Amino acid sequence: MMKTATEYLWFHCKNLREYVNLTDQVEAVVAKSGVQEGMVLVSAMHITAAVYVNDAEPGLIEDIDEWVQRLAPFRQDYKHHRTGETNGDAHLKSLLIHHQVIVPITHGRLDLGPWQQIYYAEFDGRRRKRLVIKVMGE
């Protein structure tokens, strides 16, 4: 029989850009759901944040931050800023990393590779935002 479970995580990052390891929280939602075989969707519900899977190594996280800064630096001349917002770079950074991931569930556990971790990436912090975790399977 198909089971589903939905939980929301709320964030209020202190910095404009932060990277938060969610792996344990997602694993807890999967365990609570009782799903043994299926998938879990982890999706940022804001257009200036992202979710990705990669290594938890601190140097790599710094490299990722430098990479998104290089490709989408803050600039005053973004056309988006005509709306009164000043976060055009955060929208572009979100597009670079993407807003969601799907991870397989096998035998009731996240089926990640040996170094893989699930991260929430915040690019326009200092305000409240949320993320959805949707577990689906049997």
Q: 97 falls in which pLDDT band (50, 70, 90)? A: very high
User: Which residues, including other chains, have CB under 8 Å from residue 70's CB and lie 6 or more apart?
Assistant: none
Residues 6 or more apart whose CB falls under 8 angstroms from that of 88 comprise 75, 78, 79, 80, 81
Q: Are 20 and 13 in contact (CB under 8 A)?
A: yes
For residues 43 and 35, give the distance between their C-alpha atoms in angstroms, rounded to a whole number.
19
The pTM score is 0.95
pLDDT digits (tens, 9 = 90+) for 60-94: 999 999 999 999 999 999 999 999 999 999 999 99
Structure tokens at 105: 């569930």
25-52, pLDDT tens digit by residue? 999 999 999 999 999 999 999 999 999 9
Reported CATH class of domain 3-137: mainly beta
